[in-house]
Amino acid sequence: MNDLPAMTNDEVAKVRVLESHLAQLEQVPITTQHHFHAGLYARTIRIPAGVMLTGALIQIPTLLVVSGHVTVFIGGQARELAGYHILPGQAGRKQAFLAHADTDLTMAFATLAKTVAQAEEEFTAEADLLMSRQQGGDSVFVSEE
């Protein structure tokens, strides 16, 4: 897997069905770290081994850095990634992840945003569904500008 392509409406719908199912299960707390530096915004989460989660529908191109061992559903297929990967991601994707080991995911993109809320609203129209907003207080903000 060299990149994360845009997904069709049917593929996004499949992730939404999974998301609805996962929402009924006990939720695992996930901390989000936010960084601003040199016109970039980056957010990092760690998915504990054995945890499955879905991401928000991403509406802009980003980079995704994966460090660990995870299976990602993207574009109608599941791909296993082990080790360290930097993946260009296209707009129009909503991934599902299953961590086989503790796995760090960092998403980054160029932005003029000055706050976490502005950056979140820039990359997704589903900002109110983000774990960083749902789990209140489980975010770490680091401004480096």
In a domain, 1, yes or no: no
Query: Over the chain, what is the mean pLDDT?
Result: 88
- The runs of H, that is alpha helices, within 3-145 are 9-23, 116-123, 131-134
Rounded distance between C-alpha atoms, residue 41 and residue 116, angstroms: 8
In a domain, 129, yes or no: yes
Q: What CATH code is carried by the domain that includes residue 45?
A: 2.60.120.10
In a domain, 145, yes or no: no
- The Cα angle at residue 1 between residues 54 and 124, in degrees rounded to 5: 35
Q: What is the pTM of this model?
A: 0.88
In a domain, 71, yes or no: yes
Contact present, 56 and 127 (Cβ < 8 Å) = yes
Q: How many domains does the chain have?
A: 1
Question: Does residue 145 register a pLDDT over 80?
Answer: no
What residues make up the domain containing 39?
9-136
Of residues 142 and 66, more confidence is placed in 66
In a domain, 95, yes or no: yes
In a domain, 142, yes or no: no
Contact present, 104 and 70 (Cβ < 8 Å) = no
